[in-house]
Structure 1
Amino acid sequence: MTVRRTMFGRPLRGVAFDVAVSALVALVSLTAAVNQPGGWAATLVGVAMAAALVLRRTHPSAVTVVVAALALVQVIAGWGPLVYDIAVLIALYSVVKYGERLRDGVVAGAVAAVGVLLAAAQTPHVVQWWITALWYALVTGAVWLVALNVRTRRLYVLSLEERATTLEREREAESRAAVAEERTRIARELHDVVAHSMAVMIVQADGARFMLDRDPAQARTAVKVVADTGRQALEEMRRLVGVLRDAGPGGAADGADGLVVAADPEHRRLVLAELPDLLTRFGDAGLRIRSTVTGAPPALPPGLELTVYRVVQEALTNALKHAGVGAGVEVCLAYTAEAVVVRVVDNGQGRPLVSPTPSGGHGLLGMRERVTVYDGSLTAGPRAVGGWQVEVRLPLPECGPVLRPSGRG
């Protein structure tokens, strides 16, 4: 991190440079006090010019007016051009470079042109006066043009910085919108899971109430299902509330009753049993998919099961978009006692799509949001041998197996 030191709200380096310039002009004026025309009175004018130059960046127009007025005093007094008149050129340079409007610099240039004629008229006539005027005009014009060139470049750099800042803000806003949209979708799906669990609990509780006297054993089984399903639904509700709380005001949690309501043409619950169909669809689209499953699949909570499905779906979508048709993809699901590990790897050796699907560039953001809901980890990036790899680790809940709901909402 770069720390910029400031003084009086300005960069310390710029303040030090302006003070050094002012001190140099004052020193030149004091050094020539004895021999220059006007003596100490002219020296005081030079020191006043030097003092005004300290503010040449923050108030360039005002500084130019002050320096021009002091130069006029010098002309009226008949002292002629003196060494400290370099302050006039410095003020002219400053108003052209730092002035808010170029008009101020043009006016200063016109005033400087008049000053050139007056200075040439008061110069000792060693040579013809117009030769002296031409020399002063060349020097003054060169200073004005250099300042104009620096001003143009400075404004160009500032416009580039402003454009870069605007683009960065737009990217951040787009990313926040994509995250909010993904949270909306996650919250909606978790809401469906919780609603289904509540329906299962009601059905089982009603069954237990009717079977309590006729078949106590079956009633006990139904009560156990109610307890397990309620425990699972409570966990999913906690995650749902976490998603909505993270969305913040005006984010994903906008609804009449505090829940997310949105239209979805595929408004149904997806389960891991549908993964083979998903792999078949991507295979028909042109990917060469090889899938492996290690370990015994446990009874996953519906929300976690949905997250695994969505991660595989998004990873295959990215492989088709970026690796292309014909790319080899390996999908690995590993079930352990502590977690579910999903690994999707492509070799990046496919053919580009003829009509690629537009991508908002937020697939990884969506996956990360889903994985974070279940306290998981996501690793994604290019491989050294080519292609791309996505690996997700989702810890299993501590509670025991629960009843697996049906695949329809």
Structure 2
Amino acid sequence: MSTADPTLPAWQRWAPDVSGGVATFALGVVEVRGNVYADDRAAAYVIVLAVALGVGLSRALPAAALGAAWFAGTVQVTSGAGAMLVEVLLAVVAFGCARWGSAATVWLSGLSMPLGVLIAVLWLDSDLVYRALELAGVRLLAETAYRGGDWRLPASLLIFALLATPWLLGLALRFLDRARRSRDSQVVAEAERDQAEEIARLREDQARLARDVHDVVGHSLAVILAQAESAQYLPDTDPDAHSEALRRTMANIATSARTSLQDVRQVLSSPDGAPPTDGRHGDLDALVEGVRASGHEVVSTEVGTPRPLPPELEVVAFRVLQEMLTNAIRHGRRDEPVLVERHWEGELRLEVRNVIGEQTAHEQETRPIATVDAAELAAQAGAGHGLEGMRRRLEAVGGRLDVRRRDEPGGATFTATAWVPFRSGR
């Protein structure tokens, strides 16, 4: 497996390998031509060619380079050719196999070294070893071989060291490169994870902002619409009273619009979308009074002693009641009161009940008495930001939501109940 840059032209990728092979062949030819002891020059040239081929292929094709090295050794043993100094360059093949070869090539090259050394010391006689060692300049071993001493063990160790040292170096570089790639992959994975978390956070912030803007604008527009519609039913028997009532209605509309604009600005500037508050539970009363001002009759009941809520729970209670009242205005009958209950016992329980308008009741007259599906309710209540938004707000703090439609003798009713714990469950 070559490490050359794949974007380079083929001749540039192969140039270092070809240069190494050509240089090895040239050195081998010079050695053969200058070696007076070479009896079989044809076999020597074949060996030189095989060694040069192995050196040239050691980076791009390590397995083929290993085969060329074994071919050179086979020719040398079968022909009886003497050992040559150029064969030291087989260390390049050992390095290439360990550095760039496949797992099988690494194992085969590792096993080849002791096997090759064993064959060398068994098949080569002392004269051939003496000539090779003399050419290599290893005088001490040469004299030992010449005198018939025990030269095989030191010669074996020398040959093995010449092959094993570059092989181990290649293996070490291989593992270092693998560790570096692993670190790079880990860095990339961590960067992708951080990016995904950032995207998720931005999407959550976007969803929160959409819910808050929906709650504020949806509620205000519902109140404004109800006030505008109520103007149609003002009595016109007394022109002065009619004009005064119309002025009050327009003033209420302007106040609602101004309050909505302030709330939107506050939502866009606040990191948590908190509503503007003057007291902890007084804002819930303000929501109820705002619906009354729109012309809807509201019957509000409060059970227990109001308790202060942490800021995050105060926001949840405010937004949930706001959405409940918005749905009551939007889908309820104007001639029927909206029932609002607040229970402060154990946990804050908010309940809003209203009679469904004629059109809505007609559309759902075949529906059985059951808990309404949250996804369908969300689609009916503002593109996924209405009742589904309430449910998500409550679940985030350990609360819960129940929405039911019931067919009763006086007409179909719609009841939304929310439980807000006094302490956040996050």
Bigger-Rg structure (1/2) = 2
If each structure's helix is expressed as a fraction of its own residues, which one has the higher value?
2
Calculate the TM-score normalised by the size of structure 2.
0.47
Bigger relative contact order, structure 1 or 2 (CA pairs below 8 A, ≥6 apart): 1
Calculate the TM-score normalised by the size of structure 1.
0.48
